[in-house]
Amino acid sequence: MASALSGAGRSYRHDSLAATPDKCTLGRVEVKEVCHEYLSPTDKTPVAALGPVSLQVSAGEFLCLLGPSGCGKSTLLMIIAGLFNPTAGTVVVDGVAVTGPSRERGVVFQDYALLPWKTVRSNVALGPRLAGASRREANQVADEFLELVGMPQAGDRYPHELSGGMRQRAAVARTLAAKPKVLLMDEPFAAVDAQTRGVLQEELIGIWARTAQTVVFVTHSVEEAALLADRVVVMSTGPGRVQEEFPVTLPHEDRFSRESATRVAEVAASLLASVRTAQPRRPRRGGSWSG
C-alpha cells in the first residue's frame, strides 16, 4: 500500500500502514511524578486532582488506564497529550519533554470532535494537510485510512449524517492519518451502543496489530480493559494515583473468540476487585472527599 507521497522538504511522509521495525522503537512514554491541581470554583483554593503519578509505556504497548470517575485518568491523558499543563512533574516521549500538543501524540476524544463543517474525508485529511501535504495527496491518504476503518464510502458525507459508531471510526481514521507515534484514546467507545462497541474494539485491535503504535486507552469498563490491554493501570481517587498494575498475557488475537470469553472474564473480575477498592468513599454530609 506504499504510495509515492514523500515530497522533498515536506514534514509529512506517507508510507505503508504496516508496522516497520523502527516504528516499534518509537513512542515510548514516561510519566514522571505528574501532579495536577485545579482551583475550587467555590473558594478558589487549589484542589489536588491527580498525582503524583509515575508510569512508563513501552513503544508499541497497549496500555489501559482504568478507574472510577474522578480518578483523573482523563486528566492524565490530556497531560500526556500536552493539552493540560501538569502542576508538577513531566511527561517525556522518546526522550523529549512534552510542552504542548503535537501531532506526534494523536487523541481520539470521547465525543468524536469531528469538525461538522468539513466532510468526513476533509476531516481525515486535516492531519496530512496541516503537515504540508497537497489537497490531492491528503485526500488520497484520507481515503486509505477511511478504508482501514471500514468506511470507504463515507468520505463525502458530513459528520452529522453518520451514526455514533461511524463517527468514532472516522475520528480514529483522522487521528491515525496524522501518523502519531502515540495514540491517546479518551473513553472513545463510551458513547456508542454495546453491540457497536464490541465491533469497534475488535477493529481497533486489528488496526493496532498493523500500525504497531503505542496506545494509551482510558476506560472505566473492566471488560474493555481486559479485552484490549497489554497492561492495565488501575487508578484510585482523591487525588488520582496508580493503585495497581495488571499485565494481561492472553494473546490479543484470541480475546474476541467465544472460547476465551471465560478467561477474559476472569481478568475482568480481578480488575473489578481492584477498581472496587479504588472507589471513592461516599462523601459525608458537608461534602468532604478526604479522610
Partner 1 sequence: MNTSERPKASLRPSTFARRAVLRPGLVPVAVVLGMWALLPSLDHLPVYKLPHLAQVASELWHLAVTGAIFNALGDSLSRLAIAFVIGATLGVAVGVAVALSRALNDFLMPLIAFFNAIAGIAWIPLAIVWFGFGSGPVLFVIANNVFFIVLYNTLLGAERIPPVMYDAVRTLGGDRRRTIVREVLVPGAMVGVLGGLRTGLAFAWRALVAVEMIAASNGLGFMSIQASRVFDGSTVVSVILVIGTVWVLMDRLLLRPVEALTVRRWGMLGGADL
Of 262, 196, 228, 218, the C-alpha closest to 67 is 218
34 vs 114 by CB, closer to partner 1: 114
Nearer Cβ to partner 1 (72/159): 159
Answer for the pair 39, 47: CB distance below 8 angstroms, yes or no.
yes
d(CA 47, CA 77) in angstroms, rounded, equals 19
Cβ of residue 102: shortest distance to partner 1, in angstroms?
A: 7
Residue burial 52-62, b: 16+ Cβ < 10 Å; e: rest: bbebebebbbb
**Cβ partners under 8 Å of residue 210, min gap 6:** 17, 18, 19, 148
The nearer residue to partner 1, 88 or 130, going by C-beta atoms, is 130
Read off the C-alpha cell for 156. Answer: 463525502
- Judged by CB, which is closer to partner 1: 119, or 201? 119
CA 120, chain centre distance (Å): 20
Applying CB under 8 A, the residues found at the interface with partner 1 are: 81-83, 100-103, 105-107, 109, 111, 113-118, 126-127, 130-131, 158-161, 174-175, 178
Closest by Cα among 252, 215, 210, 216 to 20: 210
Q: How far is the CB of 126 from partner 1 (least distance, A)?
A: 5
- Give min distance, CB of 178 to partner 1, in A: 5
* Smallest distance, partner 1 to C-beta of residue 171, A: 8
> Considering the complex, what minimum distance in angstroms separates the CB of residue 116 from partner 1?
5
Task: Give whichever of 76 and 226 is closer to partner 1, judged by the CB atom.
Answer: 76
Collapsing DSSP to helix, strand or coil, 97 comes out as strand
